[in-house]
Copies of this chain bind each other. A is one copy, B any other.
Amino acid sequence: MKIRRSERLIDITRYLLERPHTLVPLTYFAKRYESAKSSISEDLGIVRRTFHSRGTGILETIPGAAGGVRFIPTISKDEATEFIDEMTTELSEQSRLLPGGYVYLSDLLGQPDVLRTVGRLIATQYVEQQVDAVMTVATKGVPIAQSVSAYLNVPFVIVRRDSKITEGSTVSVNYVSGSSERVEKMELSKRSLKQGSRVLVVDDFMKGGGTVNGMKSLIEEFESELVGVTVFAESAFAGERAIADYTALLSVDKVDSRDKTIHVAPGNYLARTFK
């Protein structure tokens, strides 16, 4: 009997971690392990306490006949702070400096452990809000969108600057690129977003906010609603940003191409998420 409980706990943990934000009825587990609902209930209590004490997330109980449990991944303030500090150091590396004051990020945003944590961070910020889809613009925002989408368990959609014949009909908008003041075009496949969706916008980098503002217009074209905007890093911008209300994990305050120095600080994420 002791072995059975052990096995159940391991398998329940795995099952829930793979299905965040999904309601799982107690009867599902009772059937899967051929166990009494009372035993499963006890198991879930242990999982709930352990997830809580280790900062893994919340195991919600929904009572009643249509009820069950739902795992909501979160990150603790300590873990979030530690990660952001680590990234601050990483981004400040002189070797990341590119001509034109850009900062090289592609290596970080191709590392599975970095992406996992970024996903958990952003998902935690929106944990109390209804999100139906995560939106980003190709290409560099995609890994962030995908990771957030995995933790929120909702689809992500990719806005493109270039039309692709494999997307079918699209809806397009024009937008002003904040940094260059040029008018550009972005589009989204018509069938990729349902009308009335609540959309979270994420991206890797924000300068003037023009791209994010374009996505905002696109969301309006789909008669949907913007829930929030979170970017991995924002950079200093002389002038008014096209978007005022956004969250940044990191802030690239000053880039000096001559001295080859980058000054990076934590963004407003921590203050906005852990009030």
Contact = CB atoms under 8 A, between A and B. Distances in A.
A233 to B, nearest CB: 11
A105 B166 contact: yes
A183 B263 CA distance: 42
A105 B155 CA distance: 13
A153 interface: yes
A29 to B, nearest CB: 13
A67 interface: no
Contact of A112 (B116, B150, B166): B150
B111 A47 contact: no
B11 A10 contact: no
Interface in A111-168: 111-113, 115-116, 138-140, 142-143, 146-147, 149-150, 153-158, 160, 162, 164-168
Of residues A2, A112, A156, A158, which shows the largest number of chain B Cβ atoms within 10 Å of its Cβ?
A112
A38 interface: no
Given A10-B13, A112-B150, A106 B139 contact: no
Given A111-B155, A192-B110, A14 B13 contact: yes
A54 B47 CA distance: 19
Given A2-B2, A112-B153, A150-B115, A158 B106 contact: yes
Assembly stoichiometry (copies)? 2
B140 A143 contact: no
Interface stretch (A96-104, A215-223, A236-244): A96-104
Interface of A: 2-3, 5-7, 9-11, 13-14, 17-19, 46-47, 49-51, 53-54, 56, 98-100, 102-107, 110-113, 115-116, 138-140, 142-143, 146-147, 149-150, 153-158, 160, 162, 164-168, 189, 191-192, 205
